[in-house]
Copies of this chain bind each other. A is one copy, B any other.
Amino acid sequence: MSPEIPEEGTKHAKRSYHHGSLHPALIDAGLALARTGGPSAVVLRAVSREAGVSHNAAYRHFANHEDLLAAVGERAMAELGRLMLHRMAGITAPDEARLAQARLAAIGRAYVDFALAEPGWFRTAFSGATAHPHPPAAGAHPPLPEPPPDPLPEPPPDPGTDPFLILGAALDHLVTAGTLPATRRPGAEYAAWSAVHGLSALLVDGPLRTLPEAEARRAVESVLAVVARGL
């Protein structure tokens, strides 16, 4: 209304009408809000406010609220993938077979640990409409062809951090190490992923939410053991 002087940069130093990089700034702000409050905290207006911009500015970068939430969820998913990779990298074993097994268990543990340590991000990662275009994939995975460098503004945010692909690689390793019969490889990710994701969901949001820490730990190991035996 009144021609008040707008305080000259309320958070970000140089900002005169044009933010410069609102798109990533909005995602970052959303990620911060999602971390503590889950997907429902990723409120368009709060995100815009956090980015030092009026609501509605976001509509220049995202089609709608759902679109923004999906972008934030994708980042949260990548965060999960990053933890899986990190844990996997720290594993050593006397032979290839045991290495492959230990790695599978490690990424499984990482999955649940992430859900428990960052429930806000976990919920957000799976709340969005992040419709993975995972094709049937009932066969073997070639090592990430990724033929056309599609001209999207955002390069697919680290294709290496996709939890599903990380799991697939771990299962492939199990095959080459001779631990998993090749005939059982197709579809194996469904069982492994489902078990670990289900436990995470039940512990974070579901009826197992009240399980005491120690019992939860035991449940994780129990689930991992069943999967290892059953694959």
Q: Encode A116-160 as 1/0 by CB contact (under 8 A) with B.
A: 000000000011001111101010000000000000000000000
Known: A187-B218, A226-B227, A226-B230. A136 touches B201 (CB 8 A): no
**A199: contacting residue among B127, B130, B190, B202, CB under 8 A:** B190
Q: Which residue of B lies closest to A215 (CB)?
A: B136
Contacts of A132 in B (CB 8 A): 207-208, 210
Q: Which residue of B lies closest to A227 (CB)?
A: B230
**Copies assembled:** 2
**A229: contacting residue among B138, B205, B230, CB under 8 A:** B230
Could you show 25 A-B contacts with beta carbons less than 8 Å apart? A126-B207, A127-B205, A130-B207, A131-B207, A132-B210, A134-B210, A136-B211, A138-B215, A138-B218, A187-B218, A187-B222, A190-B222, A191-B222, A193-B202, A194-B198, A194-B199, A194-B223, A195-B223, A195-B227, A196-B198, A225-B230, A226-B227, A226-B230, A226-B231, A229-B229
Interface size class of A (residues with CB under 8 A): 35 or more
Complex Cα gap A137–B228 (Å): 23
Judged by a CB distance under 8 angstroms, whether A45 is at the interface is no
Contacts of A194 in B (CB 8 A): 194-199, 202, 219, 223
Complex Cα gap A134–B215 (Å): 12
Contact residues of A between 44 and 65, Cβ < 8 Å to B = none
Known: A132-B210, A134-B207, A136-B211. A191 touches B226 (CB 8 A): yes
Give min CB distance, A168 to chain B, whole Å. 13
**A-B complex: 3 closest residue pairs judged by Cβ atoms:** A230-B230, A198-B198, A132-B207
Contacts of A133 in B (CB 8 A): 210
